[in-house]
Structure 1
Amino acid sequence: MDFKKYYDEVYDIAKDIYMHPELGYKEYRTKDIVEKYIKKYLHNIDVQSFAKTGLKFTLPTKEKKPFKMAFVVELDAVYAPTHFHADKDTGAAHNCGHYSQIGIGLALFRALIEENIYQNFDFSISFVFVPAEEFLDLDYREQLRKNNEIVYFGGKPEAMRLGIFDEFDFAMATHAMGGDFKERTIEINSDLAGFLYKKYHFTGKAAHAGFSPFTGINAYSISTLFNVGIGLMRQQLDEKEMVRLNPIIMESDMGTNVIPNSITIGTDVRTQTVEYMKDIVKRVDDVAKGSAMSLQGQVNIETQMGYLPFLQNRYLSSFVMDTFNSYEKIPSIRNENPISAAGDIGDLSFMMPCLQVGYSGFAGTIHGDDFIENDPEFIFSIFPEFLLEVLKNMDGKIDKNELYHRDYREYEKLINDILK
């Protein structure tokens, strides 16, 4: 099958979206572009909207299939105002490559419907374009939550809450790979960390810094002690969990002539497993409490769930490896390289088996100021063709005993248990 005939239109759409990035739950222009393209080639398709800017549709089949697959695409951009193609008004930039996921998804969609190959598969295929994968713009999302427009900051957990994924047996996704590669490369089994978001509000007592500093309690000093404690604690962290902590000053109002009486430190806490996440969070909380106690101050702690760890499904990945071994257009594959980046596909993988295939073809630093594709032919033509071959390889071979399904209530219970 020649994917080159889809390339020009798909690449034009991807470039347009790259140049017009939108933050999560605000991807209205992007959503409209995707929906128009879908309906251009499937006129009577029923496209379901969800979570403000999400889209879902199922390729029509003549008969019911034994399995149902979701092909998941992310719509949103990153807040990166110094990126060389950032939106001047919003600071949004597509330096995580989600725009390329959209192009890949559209190319695959087009090939599936024009060649009609999917009709013979023993699984149906739905496309789910989800908003708000990036965990940012939190004040806006908090306002949406207060207005009862969303519950979760992440688009996939929100879609799970709304029942968007209830029908599926497994899911496939893709993601851009950061780094420079000498040859065209894909990646499988790159597990992702999960994370919690913490805020530590340290309070002390204001006093004149020159006349009577001894009557005050320095909240900034408490936060400094907290940072020292975190630094010394790192020696006790299990290396295989790839723990990441990044404490930053979020709120302060300090002057040189006043002992500061309040400061807020925020950090994410990243680990590879949920159980270790719970353990580390307790330890970090203890460091905060001890720091405040040692200088007679106070600390108020806020905890917010980020995303669950993503353990890639090795069974589904085996189909990618089998396809790679017989596919000549991609010379290199990376395997079993866990990282401490996170994504809400971890939450979706709690519900069902998920596979995420990485792809090269970019220059610059992912989430950096110079990120852009440098091999569009690979991204928007060769790689979608490869994904179609993976789907062909899956046909007739899915073992139901290798699949699992949990419902939203089980997910909600897990999140509540973590936040206790």
Structure 2
Amino acid sequence: MLTNEEAKQRAITVIDQHKTEIIDLAQDILKHPETGWNETRTSKVTRTWFDKLSIPHRHGIGLTGVKGSIKGGAGPGPSVGLLGELDSLRVPEHPFSDPLTGAAHACGHHAQMGSMLGALTGLVDSSVLESLSGTIVPFAVPAEEFIEVENRLKLKAEGKIEFLGGKQELIKLDEFNDMDMAIRMHTGDLPGAMKMSVGGTCNGHVVKFVQYEGRGAHAGGSPHLGINALNAAMVAIHSMNANRETFRDDEMVRFHGIINRGGDAVSAIPSDVRLEWRVRAGSISAVRENNKRLDRSFKAGALAVGAKVSINTIPGYFPIHNDKTMKDIFIESAQYVIGNDHLQVVSDDVNRGHSSDLGDLSYVLPTLGFNVAGVSGVGHGKDYLVEDWENTIINTAKVYATFMIDLLHGDASPAKKVISSAKLDMTRSEYLRFQRDQAEEIHFDGAS
């Protein structure tokens, strides 16, 4: 059996040997972005890489997910999930956007996929596995970005999905039941010389899909016969803004959204207006409380002009609760690769403001998320680009591989410690019940 040090060095050497093709893979995914539940090409690229490494796998999980299984040769033991997200955003102005769909990797998920597949190369092609106990479960997962809500509601109506977020649906499908813990990286803007960061949390959220029904009429000749659904939406937005002074600073509440449909012709009073909205906050209780404010605001818009409104509340994401034992082990693994001076360790109560379905997973499974520097621009913006491919892809692949070795080497006692010390917020059944209870449809007639 290799020593822990020998195993790490072998994996790192193999990753360096395959550096060019690993980066090429990530850049290929960058140039072929696909939004959630549509990631057919990226799924195929993943399967091809798994086949090249002779990793047995299943595909079509949650429509496009791909999950492998890599057994250690030192005996049975814990199972560790290594996650990469397949999907992109829609940012038509991005230089690598799809000209037909507007899809673009403006959140760095191509880096997740490249580093995950790079780590697998280092672990599989280095004879390291013979010194590990347990199982590594690489899992390319769909639909982390909670976008295109109207299209996803159609998938739900067709019975293809129940939950609109990828990991939500995979929890329902029991696809994390064969894991004892899971890890996932994300790109990010870090201070100074920091190459990676671990710790912190994020906001939870719920999602709203809202439709105002008014009455069409000639906007010049007979506007008095119409009911302006766009004006109802504008009143609702103003009502939301009137609540902002009541937001608690420590809850980091966010209201934001878009109007998907604002009318059909400028010469007609808008009769069908649709909005996609979101409320975020640092705790589930704060999300639920502020969700009530949104509902009141949407009703206020309908009441003001006598329109009808349908308010669809869609279960969103939970705040991330990083596992403390995994975090401690990760710190050693990351410092082994990038050095002590390049890892930022963040207090677990620092809220970064975003939301992710990794938070959902962290409520039912020991989970760790970490951030990696090497990008420029603003996240979710047209200028968000990976600049330092060495750090973002290759160093991350090395840290992933090192972390797996630190967890599973020999008798896998560190991974067993993660399991024994884990304190989860919910069981799977409690999670599903909570999310299903959040789903609600309200129909309100402002004229009655």
> Normalising by structure 1, what TM-score?
0.89
Match of 1:383 in 2: 396
1:396 matched to 2:413? The reply is yes
Decide whether aligned partners of structure 1 residues 295 and 171 sit closer, same or farther in structure 2, where only a CA change above 3 A counts.
same
Decide whether aligned partners of structure 1 residues 105 and 218 sit closer, same or farther in structure 2, where only a CA change above 3 A counts.
closer
Instruction: Answer yes or no: is the 8 Å Cα contact 2:206–2:314 preserved in 1.
Output: yes
SS in 2 for 1:401: helix
Match of 1:195 in 2: 205
Match of 2:288 in 1: 278
- Return the letter of the residue paired with 1:396: S
- Offset, 1:368: 1.6
Q: 1:346-385 residue pairs with structure 2 within 5 A?
A: 346-385=359-398
- Which ranges in structure 1 are unaligned for 5 or more consecutive residues? none
Q: 1:22-101 residue pairs with structure 2 within 5 A?
A: 22-42=34-54, 45-49=55-59, 50-62=61-73, 64-101=75-112
Match of 1:292 in 2: 302
Match of 2:433 in 1: 413
Residues 218-227 or 16-25, more deviating: 218-227
Decide whether aligned partners of structure 1 residues 241 and 123 sit closer, same or farther in structure 2, where only a CA change above 3 A counts.
farther
Match of 2:354 in 1: 341
Residues 90-99 or 383-392, more deviating: 383-392
Instruction: Answer yes or no: is the 8 Å Cα contact 2:281–2:287 preserved in 1.
Output: yes
- Offset, 1:189: 1.6
- Return the letter of the residue paired with 2:360: D
Q: Which of 105, 108, 113 matches 2:116?
A: 105
| Structure 1: distance between partners of 2:161 and 2:255 | 28
Instruction: Answer yes or no: is the 8 Å Cα contact 2:338–2:395 preserved in 1.
Output: no
| Structure 2: distance between partners of 1:208 and 1:22 | 40
Q: 1:94-133 residue pairs with structure 2 within 5 A?
A: 94-133=105-144
Instruction: Answer yes or no: is the 8 Å Cα contact 2:74–2:131 preserved in 1.
Output: no
Instruction: Answer yes or no: is the 8 Å Cα contact 2:35–2:89 preserved in 1.
Output: yes
Decide whether aligned partners of structure 1 residues 95 and 288 sit closer, same or farther in structure 2, where only a CA change above 3 A counts.
closer
Instruction: Answer yes or no: is the 8 Å Cα contact 1:68–1:169 preserved in 2.
Output: yes
Decide whether aligned partners of structure 1 residues 307 and 211 sit closer, same or farther in structure 2, where only a CA change above 3 A counts.
same
Residues 78-87 or 312-321, more deviating: 312-321
- Offset, 1:278: 1.1
SS in 2 for 1:230: helix
> Normalising by structure 2, what TM-score?
0.84
- Offset, 1:88: 1.4
Instruction: Answer yes or no: is the 8 Å Cα contact 1:28–1:53 preserved in 2.
Output: yes
% identical equivalent positions: 25
| Structure 2: distance between partners of 1:330 and 1:80 | 36
- Which ranges in structure 2 are unaligned for 5 or more consecutive residues? 1-8, 441-448
Instruction: Answer yes or no: is the 8 Å Cα contact 1:10–1:107 preserved in 2.
Output: yes
- Offset, 1:295: 4.7
- Return the letter of the residue paired with 1:352: L
1:4 matched to 2:13? The reply is no
Instruction: Answer yes or no: is the 8 Å Cα contact 2:72–2:134 preserved in 1.
Output: no
| Structure 2: distance between partners of 1:222 and 1:53 | 39
Instruction: Answer yes or no: is the 8 Å Cα contact 1:25–1:131 preserved in 2.
Output: yes
- Return the letter of the residue paired with 1:339: R
- Offset, 1:380: 2.6
Decide whether aligned partners of structure 1 residues 136 and 200 sit closer, same or farther in structure 2, where only a CA change above 3 A counts.
closer
